[in-house]
Amino acid sequence: MGFNSIQSYVGVGKTWAASLLQKIADNFDALNGGLSTNALPDILNGSFEINSLNDGLTPDSWTIVNYTGGSHALETTSPAHGANALKFVHPGGAGNGGGYADSDYFPVNELVLHSLSGIIWASAATKSKVQVRYFTNAKVELGAGSPEELIVFYSLSPTRYTWQILPPATTRFIKIRLIGGYTDTAVAGNIFFDGFTFGPSIGTNEMRFNRYNTTPVLSANGTYLIPHGIYYVYADSIAVPQVQLYNGTAWIAGATISTGSWDGPFVSDGTNVRLLNTTANVNTVTLIRM
């Protein structure tokens, strides 16, 4: 049995019943089953199944803010995972939007590569995002590199995305922010999120690359600071090997980028690692973040 809300049994004048005791027993069974198989995700209520208020709006362990004109609800007609999904409604029009949902804090550290996964879709070409917010052990958000934008998207059918997360130094807690219907795009539509999980990373050979982080054009003798993360790089228009990775003080060994091929993976600290164009030609490369 899965989790069952018992909120309807709570209140002045309410009496206990056999059905309440059965639900409590089922909840303990679900909890013990998850613990015994290490199946509990670090993102609490990542599939939005638990709605203790029974209002059809507010999933437990998430804080939701609606943008101007926007609204949200739990989608129960066509969820992608389990019985509920989280839906934001963008009404259209300049300055309007849907809203965003912040997860509770959950613990991490910078020594472990993590995997974040979730299902996302929309009814129209709205603009939506997934962000990771990094916090210290005192739960103070890091000044640099937070929030980190993982994807800006819309997909008209349920699509599972998976990202590899390497937290910056001093990170001890993370929050996930799901933005449905951002305010800089006036398109009306419904945006859905479902089935979010987070844990130690899957093997490198199973990683899926879901987004282009950027396609920088390197001017003559120009540099490009690579955002924090783990990347593969592809040389789009380099006639001869002339773009290299530089860590601020020295060349990264073996990091000359060849034309028409993938190089990597490599890690950028977001502070020192750069692409450096060593000639007077303009060159373009593609970075894909793991």
The answer to whether the CB of 243 falls within 8 A of the CB of 283 is yes
Alpha-carbon span 228 to 146, nearest angstrom: 10
Q: For position 111, what pLDDT does the model report?
A: 76
The answer to whether the CB of 121 falls within 8 A of the CB of 156 is yes
Alpha-carbon span 24 to 18, nearest angstrom: 10
Q: For position 17, what pLDDT does the model report?
A: 65
* Average pLDDT per 10 consecutive residues for the chain, totaling 290 residues: 57 65 64 44 83 88 95 94 95 94 89 85 90 94 85 81 84 94 93 90 40 50 67 56 57 52 65 64 64
Which residues pair with residue 212 across a beta bridge? 288
Instruction: Specify the DSSP element, H or E, that contains 27.
Output: helix 18-36
Q: Check residue 272 and report its DSSP letter.
A: S
Provide the 3-class DSSP secondary structure of residue 263.
Answer: strand
Q: In order of start, what are the domains of the chain with their CATH numbers?
A: 7-36 (no CATH), 62-206 (2.60.120.260), 212-289 (2.60.120)
Alpha-carbon span 158 to 152, nearest angstrom: 15
Neighbours of 27 (CB within 10 A): 16
Write out the DSSP string of 165-186.
E-PPTT--EEEEEEEES-TT--
The answer to whether the CB of 227 falls within 8 A of the CB of 197 is no
